[in-house]
Amino acid sequence: MCGKKLNVLWAPGDEYIIHPGHPENPKRMEVFKEILLDFKLDLQYPLPLSRGEIEKVQFLGPEVNLHTAQQMAAGAVKMACEKILQNEKALVIARPPGHHSPRLSYGTRGFCTINNDALGIAHMLKKNPDLKLVIIDTDAHHGDGSEDFFYYEPRVKHFSIHQDGRTIFPGTGFPEVTGPFNNIRNIPLPPGSGDSHLFQAITELIIPEIKDFSPEYVIHVTGFDGHKDDYLSALNYSNQILGLVSSLLKPDLTIIEGGYDLRSAIPASFPHLLNSLLKKETFAYPSVTRKITRLMDGIKNQWEEGFERISAKMNSPVNRFVSFFYDEGFFAEEREETLFPCKNCRGLVHVKSRCFTKKEFLYLPRGICNNCKKQLKKWENQKEAETVIFRPDPF
């Protein structure tokens, strides 16, 4: 990583306001920009992604009206992904964020309408199908939308460290959820958790798995909403911790998601993150207690037990039931998914989605094998198939 250029992709979304007084607003970007100017970092402006480009990866309900800021934010991540494929580093600061937006999007939830991160990663995997990637999401809230995108994608290992979903939006992110390919990792932290919890999660749980997985690229999705002064979580992170985390992970790409305290959390924390990316600061390690070690051991055991349960079902169709609450519009999507496992490829995924109306999808895996092609023919020949939307897997 030493010597790689740091590209800063900037998409402030100045004209995008969810509603007056909303915490996700353009003033956040003014704070980031002042600090970036202090560091004398050049800002690069992306091109927006068209709705057509977005819909190749993410299904958007007809109710979804895109704002240019959302398309610019997605374009920023795509441009950043192009930079890291060119052996450079990148930092994305864009609004609105995206990690709560699932593969099927019917509106805005958790401030997110389209999943910027997934769109960029889809671009990388399309260019190089043999890549393996790791995503570590340290935003205070579970990255449920990104987890939904990569649930059936074994080339992407998705970690999310977040405040326990029983105490915060979106109410998900539990350790027993591993996905059928054992690539999903959730680390919920109790309210009040601080630097020692995050440090132990990174060093004891995540870094060993990264080494075993041997990815070509590491992506750090983060935010400052876990800071002790931020009012949208009950975590207790210090000013320096995300700088330390970045120095440990050595990410190729860093994407800023949340962070809403403009007086203290962002001004005090963001410089440490930048110093880490620029290799201008060293960080002290926090102390770790036996209680924290027991918590991490328990989470690791739940990973193993969760995967054992799902792998025992892989000789027959595997069902998954999920729901996504859209807090801006106050409605929900309920979804039933069935994975048809296959020994020769990833298998077909059948999705029944209920939100406003019923929709049915059949996702076709990359490198679909002959057996699955025969199954696909059966689907196509059935009368019911007239209502099914056939979608090639975007990854």
- Give pLDDT, residue 3: 74
Q: What predicted TM-score, i.e. pTM, was given to this entire model?
A: 0.96
Domain boundaries, the chain: 6-301, 318-392
pLDDT cut 70: percent of the chain above it: 98
Strand partners, 220: 136, 254
- Give pLDDT, residue 177: 98
- Give pLDDT, residue 70: 98
pLDDT at 214 > cutoff 90: yes
- Give pLDDT, residue 1: 41
How far is C-alpha 102 from the geometric centre of its chain's CA atoms?
Answer: 10
What number is the average pLDDT over the span 113-135? 96
Q: What is the mean pLDDT of the chain?
A: 95
- Give pLDDT, residue 376: 87
pLDDT at 2 > cutoff 60: no
- Give pLDDT, residue 384: 60
What number is the average pLDDT over the span 212-235? 98
- Give pLDDT, residue 217: 98
- Give pLDDT, residue 389: 87
Q: What's the pLDDT tens digit per position in 27-84?
A: 999 999 999 999 999 999 999 999 999 999 999 999 999 999 999 999 999 999 999 9
pLDDT at 269 > cutoff 80: yes
pLDDT at 308 > cutoff 80: yes
pLDDT at 386 > cutoff 70: no
Which one has a higher pLDDT value, 19 or 273? 273
Architecture of domain 6-301: 3-Layer(aba) Sandwich (3.40)
- Give pLDDT, residue 383: 58
